[in-house]
């Protein structure tokens, strides 16, 4: 641990606090209680239900997909049947989301796992099941985008069952971990969560060797296998980019002497860390909106970890992935194949190139492609032509979420069928900029590195307009209070007030 550990202000110094009064009639508990720790999303069903319609506009696909994700949880979220501890046989267990049987108020004990300890002011708690790492990669000091991502993660995820690993590039910025822990003014407010175990800063340095389980090395085609000596005396190349050492262990060899561009490194990091650790990787400009755990749990039938990524944009070929959000099983045949392919192509891990490689090799079915409505619901809205259909809210560009005005107020409620309300001043129609109406059903909102009024300056924040009722956002109106959920993260109570943001 860094020598500046004494600077931590223990989280126990902070007291439980009610959420501050919000000048709006909307609530931020619209998602209801958190899903049960064992709840699983049927990714295949989500892919099929959101598959593009033949004759409609691209924006119709997004609107229909969001409506499905928001209104059909009973179809694609399930709670696997538990086995009796006495008989070992399946117990009858309801899958009825509408009657509340699929949800609980946090990391409650699960019939499939030992009892869990709930999170508290001094402990992150324990998880009734597998704990998943969430990986992000960053260079340089923290900025408002860094801060916003972390707050969104803290607000939406099941914290006892999640760990945020922030990979700081120490090839580009030597000593980046210590600098972030000791000197970064934005990250200082997150130090109590480092102490509690929610956040871990990891040193990223491009490795020259990546371990490969022998059983994941596919030689079925016989291609690219050409044994030859290595420049190191303790290993031998058994194939292109693969070496075997004297302990009979296998490694993917990277020629780091050539040097790579920052974009190449950024594209490669996600595949390397997922191969080594599993979990999910997200770009720092992805704003999480829902609990990812149901998508990360293994397949209930096979018990195998699942793999998925997002679609590039609407109406693109089945090979066009966007790896801003991607999940891969650790040390798997798939992760080995993707790593080896990117290295073989000269450290080219661009998602379109990787996707075309998978399609050529007939392996793209191994990586589920989720419709862009799931993680990037706005991108199609920007391309709508010849239709009055619009998402809710009806944003005009990626910066719209940071603006305090509605560019197309007449369309703000065009596809909203719930209770329409006025804004804080009672004016009708309201701008519909509440979190409850913010691309309802989507798991994330991809900002696409937009720099609004605050740019990327570490000391300035954009005017994030959802913050009046969203605890994790940087709200000017509320003095920029950071509220971190500790249990029932989908409700407005049960929070810890960590720090006020300067």
DSSP string, 184-235: -TTGGGGHHHHHHTSEEEEEE---SEEEE-GGG---SS-TT---EE-SSTTE
Answer yes or no: do 244 and 319 share one domain: no
pLDDT tens-digit profile of 208-218? Answer: 999 999 888 77
Count other C-beta atoms under 10 Å from residue 149's C-beta. Answer: 26
CA dist., res. 390 & res. 79, Å (int) = 33
Instruction: Give the pLDDT band of residue 459 (cuts 50, 70, 90).
Output: very low
Q: Can you say whether the dihedral through the CA atoms of 164, 187, 264, 401 is positive or negative? A: positive
Give a yes or no: residue 421 inside a domain. Answer: yes
Residue 86 domain-assigned (yes or no) = no
pLDDT at 421 over 70: no
pLDDT grade for 383, boundaries at 50, 70 and 90: low
Does the pLDDT value for residue 253 go beyond 70? Answer: yes
Question: Do 462 and 335 have their domain in common?
Answer: yes
| Residue 282, Cβ density class (10 Å: 0-12 exposed, 13-18 middle, ≥19 buried) | buried
Q: Are residues 457 and 377 in the same domain?
A: yes
Greatest mean pLDDT range, 62-76, 86-100, 156-170: 156-170
By DSSP bridging, strand 16-17 and strand 495-500 are antiparallel
Mean pLDDT (the chain) is 74
- Rounded mean pLDDT of 114-141? 87
Give yes or no: residues 56 and 107 share one domain: yes
Read off the pLDDT of each residue in 71-90 and give the average, rounded to a whole number.
70
pLDDT of 283-308, one tens digit each? 999 999 999 999 999 988 788 889 99
- Is 423 within the bounds of a domain? yes
Give residue 355's Cα distance to chain centre: 20
Same structural domain, 160 and 303: yes
Residue 305 · residue 275 · CB < 8 Å: no
- Inform me whether the pLDDT recorded for 501 exceeds 80: no
Q: Does residue 489 register a pLDDT over 60?
A: no
Tell whether 259 is covered by a domain. no
Distinct helix (H) and strand (E) counts, the chain: 11, 19
pTM across the whole model: 0.81
DSSP state letter for 140: S
Contact call for residues 274 and 328 (beta carbons, < 8 A): yes
Domain-embedded: residue 33:
yes
Q: Give a yes or no: residue 85 inside a domain.
A: no
- The residue among 253, 281, 310 that closes a domain is 253
Same domain, 127 and 218: no
Check residues 203 and 501 and name the one with the higher pLDDT.
203
- How far apart CA 276 and CA 389 sit, in angstroms, is 43
pLDDT class for 154, splitting at 50, 70, 90?
Answer: very high
Taking phi over 0 as left and psi of -120 to 50 as alpha, with beta for the rest, 313 belongs to beta
Residues 405 and 289 in one domain: yes
- Domain total of the chain: 2
- Report the Cα 443 to chain-centroid distance in Å: 8
- Please give the residue that has the higher pLDDT: either 441 or 2: 441
Q: Are 409 and 300 found together in one domain?
A: yes
- Write down which residue in 253, 284, 314 finishes a domain: 253
Residue 127 lies in a domain: yes
Mean pLDDT of 260-269: 91
Q: Calculate mean pLDDT across residues 216-242.
A: 76
pLDDT for the residue 122: 80
* Same-domain status, 302 and 386: yes
Residue 84 has pLDDT above 70, yes or no: no
Inform me whether the pLDDT recorded for 11 exceeds 90: no
pLDDT bracket for residue 392 (50, 70, 90): confident
Sheet containing strand 162-169, strands side by side = 199-204, 162-169, 132-138, 280-282, 321-327, 308-311, 368-370
pLDDT average, residue stretch 79-92 = 54
Average pLDDT over residues 78-100: 50
Parent domain of 229: 211-253
Nearest to 118 by CA among 157, 165, 164, 161: 161
Residue 232 sits in the same domain as residue 309: no
Do 291 and 379 reside in the same domain of the chain? yes
**262 inside domain:** no
Examine the domain organization and report whether 108 and 165 are in the same domain: yes
């Amino acid at each position: 641990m860094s020598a500046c550990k004494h600077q931590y202000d223990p989280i126990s110094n902070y007291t439980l606090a009610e959420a501050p009064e919000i000048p709006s009639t909307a609530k931020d508990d619209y998602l209801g209680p958190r899903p049960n720790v064992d709840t699983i999303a049927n990714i295949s069903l989500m892919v099929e239900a959101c598959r593009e319609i033949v004759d409609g506009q691209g924006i119709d696909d997004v609107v229909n997909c969001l409506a499905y994700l928001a209104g059909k949880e009973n179809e694609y979220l399930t709670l696997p049947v538990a086995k009796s501890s006495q008989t070992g046989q399946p117990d009858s267990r309801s899958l009825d989301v509408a009657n509340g049987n699929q949800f609980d108020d946090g990391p409650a004990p699960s019939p499939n796992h030992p009892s869990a300890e709930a999170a508290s002011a001094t402990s992150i708690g324990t998880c009734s099941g597998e704990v998943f790492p969430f990986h992000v990669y960053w260079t340089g000091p923290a900025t408002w985008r860094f801060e916003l991502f972390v707050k969104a993660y803290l607000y939406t995820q099941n914290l006892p069952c999640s760990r945020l690993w922030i990979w700081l590039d120490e090839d580009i910025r030597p000593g980046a971990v210590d600098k972030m822990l000791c000197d970064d003014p934005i990250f200082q407010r997150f130090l109590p969560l480092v102490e509690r175990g929610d956040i871990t800063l990891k040193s990223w340095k491009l490795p020259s060797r990546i371990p490969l389980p022998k059983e994941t090395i596919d030689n079925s085609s016989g291609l690219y296998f050409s044994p030859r000596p290595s420049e190191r005396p303790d290993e031998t190349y058994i194939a292109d980019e693969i070496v075997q050492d004297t302990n009979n262990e296998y490694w993917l060899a990277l020629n780091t002497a050539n040097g790579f561009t920052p974009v190449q490194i950024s594209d490669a990091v996600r595949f390397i860390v997922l191969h080594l650790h599993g979990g999910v990787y997200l770009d720092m400009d992805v704003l999480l909106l829902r609990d990812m755990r149901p998508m990360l749990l293994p397949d209930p039938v096979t018990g195998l970890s699942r793999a998925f990524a997002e679609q590039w944009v609407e109406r693109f070929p089945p090979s066009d992935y966007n790896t801003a959000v991607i999940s891969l099983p650790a040390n798997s045949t798939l992760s080995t194949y993707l790593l080896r392919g990117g290295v073989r192509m000269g450290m080219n891990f661009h998602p379109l190139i990787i996707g075309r490689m998978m399609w050529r090799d007939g392996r793209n079915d191994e990586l589920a492609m989720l419709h862009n409505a799931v993680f990037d619901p706005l991108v199609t809205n920007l391309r709508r032509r010849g239709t009055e259909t619009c998402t809710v809210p009806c944003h005009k560009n990626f910066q719209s979420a940071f603006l305090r005005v509605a560019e197309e107020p007449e369309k703000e409620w065009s596809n909203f069928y719930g209770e329409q309300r006025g804004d804080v001043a009672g004016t009708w129609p309201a701008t519909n900029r509440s979190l409850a109406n913010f691309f309802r059903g989507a798991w994330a909102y991809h900002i696409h590195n937009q720099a609004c009024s605050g740019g990327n300056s570490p000391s300035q924040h954009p005017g994030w307009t959802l913050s009046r009722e969203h605890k994790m956002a940087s709200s000017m109106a509320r003095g920029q209070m950071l509220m971190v959920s500790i249990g029932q993260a989908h409700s407005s109570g049960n929070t810890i007030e960590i720090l006020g943001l300067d």
